[in-house]
Structure 1
Amino acid sequence: MKEKDNNTLVRLLAIGSLVGATAYFLTACRSSKPLETVRRVDIKKYAGKWFEIASFPSRFQKNCTCTTAEYTINDDGTVAVDNRCYNAKKKKWEGITGKAFVRNDDTNAELAVQFFWPLKGDYYIIALADDYSYAMIGVPSRDYLWILSRKREMPQSTFEKLSAIAIKKGFDVSRLRRTKQNNCD
C-alpha cells in the first residue's frame, strides 16, 4: 500500500473513531441526566389500587391486559407491591408481589422496588395529580415508563399532558403503548 493511501486510511479511521466517540458521549450524557421527581408524595394517599393506562413494552408484561398495581403500607414503613394482569395469550391471570423501599425521605418520590432478592429496580414518581387520581412512573435510564390512574380510563387531555411531561424529562413517548383495560372482570 502506498504511503499516501495509508495516511488517508489512518485519517478516515481517526474521523470514524471521533464520530463514534462523540455519538457515544452524547448518548451517555442524555441518559445520565438526573430524572426529576415530584416534590413530595404522601405515601398513605399514594397507597391503593392503580390501573395501568400505558407503558413502554417490557418482556415481563408481555401479552398483559387489565394491568393493575396495588400498594399497601407495611408496619415497617416499606410498601407491599401487588402487580396483576390478564395474560391474553395464556388466557389466565398472572401476578407478582414485591416490596418497595423509599430512597429519598425528603420527597418519598424515589423508591426501589424488589421482586426478587437481592435485585432492586428504580421507581421514580415523576408526575402526580394533586388529588392522586393519576401518576407517572419512570426510571433514570428512561428505559421504562408507566402512566397510572385510579380509574380504568383516562381522559385524552390528561394522557397528552403526561406525554408532554415525559418528553420534557427525556422519554421517547413514541414507545408508549396503551394498556387494554376493558373486559377485565
Structure 2
Amino acid sequence: MTRRHSALLALLGAAVLGGCASHPPLRHADHVDLGRYMGTWHVISHVPYFAEKGDVASADIYALKPDGTIAVTYRYRKRIDGPDKTWNGKAWLPDPADPAHWKVQLVWPLRSDYVIVDLAADYRSVLVGLPSRKLMWIMARDRQLPEAEYQRLLGVAKAEGFPVDEVRKVPQRAEDIGQPGFEP
C-alpha cells in the first residue's frame, strides 16, 4: 500500500470516527490566537492508529495563508536517523468565531474535525482531539515536555473522555526508543 493510500484510509477513518460522537460536546480551548498558534508542534504522544504507526520525530507544522486557510504539513521519519518525510494538507475554520475548531483535509475529498481542547497560556503545549474521543494528540513546541505539564494534559484528556490508557509517547530522540510508555 502506498503512503498516499495510507493517508487516504487514515483520513477516511478519522472522518468516520469524528462523526460517531455519542459524548457531550468536546471542550474547546478558551482562547486561541491563530497567528500565535502557527508554527511547529512536536507530537509528544497520541492514541496510535495505523497511519502514524512507526513514525518517529513527528511534528505538525501550521502556516496561516492570506486567504485565511491554514497550510498543514505533517513531518515524520521512519527512523530517528532517517530522512524527513511529509504529508501536506490544508485546514480552515468552519466558524471564524471559534478558532479552536478546525476542519482538516489531507486527501481530497475527505475531511476531519480538529479541536484544540486545551492550550497552555504560553502556547508551549496543546491537547488536540477528535469530537468522537477516539484519537488525540499531545504536542509541544519542543521535542520534550515537562512531566508535570504532560500529566496535566493527560488529566484533561481523561476528564474529556479520551482513552488515556491507549496513549503512547512518540520517540523524538534516539534515547526515547524502547523506553517505557513509548511506541515500539
* TM-score of Structure 1 vs Structure 2, range by shorter chain: 0.7 to 0.9
Structure showing greater radius of gyration is: 1
Q: Which has the higher strand share?
A: 1
Tell me how far apart the structure 2 counterparts of residues 74 and 162 of structure 1 sit (CA, whole Å): 29
SS at match of 1:157: helix
Q: Please point out which of 130, 142, 149 is paired with 1:151.
A: 142
How many residues end up aligned between the 2 structures?
156
Q: What residue is the counterpart of 2:32 in the other structure?
A: 41
Contact 1:38 1:107 in 2 (8 A): no
Structure 2 portions without partners, runs of 5+: 1-19, 176-184
> Is 1:83 matched up with 2:62?
no
Tell me how far apart the structure 1 counterparts of residues 95 and 149 of structure 2 sit (CA, whole Å): 27
The verdict on how the C-alpha distance between 1:160 and 1:103 changes in structure 2, with shifts beyond 3 A counting, is: same
Tell me how far apart the structure 1 counterparts of residues 166 and 119 of structure 2 sit (CA, whole Å): 21
The offset of 1:30, in angstroms, is 7.5
Q: Please point out which of 123, 128, 131 is paired with 2:122.
A: 131
Q: What residue is the counterpart of 1:16 in the other structure?
A: none
Q: Please point out which of 16, 29, 44 is paired with 1:53.
A: 44
SS at match of 2:152: helix
SS at match of 1:45: helix
Structure 1 portions without partners, runs of 5+: 1-28
Tell me how far apart the structure 2 counterparts of residues 159 and 126 of structure 1 sit (CA, whole Å): 14
SS at match of 1:33: coil
Q: What residue is the counterpart of 2:161 in the other structure?
A: 170
Tell me how far apart the structure 1 counterparts of residues 68 and 86 of structure 2 sit (CA, whole Å): 23
Contact 1:51 1:149 in 2 (8 A): yes
Tell me how far apart the structure 1 counterparts of residues 52 and 83 of structure 2 sit (CA, whole Å): 13
Q: Percent of pairs identical after alignment?
A: 33
Q: Which has the higher helix share?
A: 1
Tell me how far apart the structure 2 counterparts of residues 97 and 77 of structure 1 sit (CA, whole Å): 17
- Report the TM-score when normalising by structure 1: 0.79
Tell me how far apart the structure 2 counterparts of residues 148 and 62 of structure 1 sit (CA, whole Å): 17
Q: What residue is the counterpart of 2:107 in the other structure?
A: 116
- Report the TM-score when normalising by structure 2: 0.80
The offset of 1:113, in angstroms, is 0.4
Contact 1:126 1:138 in 2 (8 A): yes
The offset of 1:93, in angstroms, is 3.0
The verdict on how the C-alpha distance between 1:106 and 1:84 changes in structure 2, with shifts beyond 3 A counting, is: same
Tell me how far apart the structure 2 counterparts of residues 30 and 141 of structure 1 sit (CA, whole Å): 4
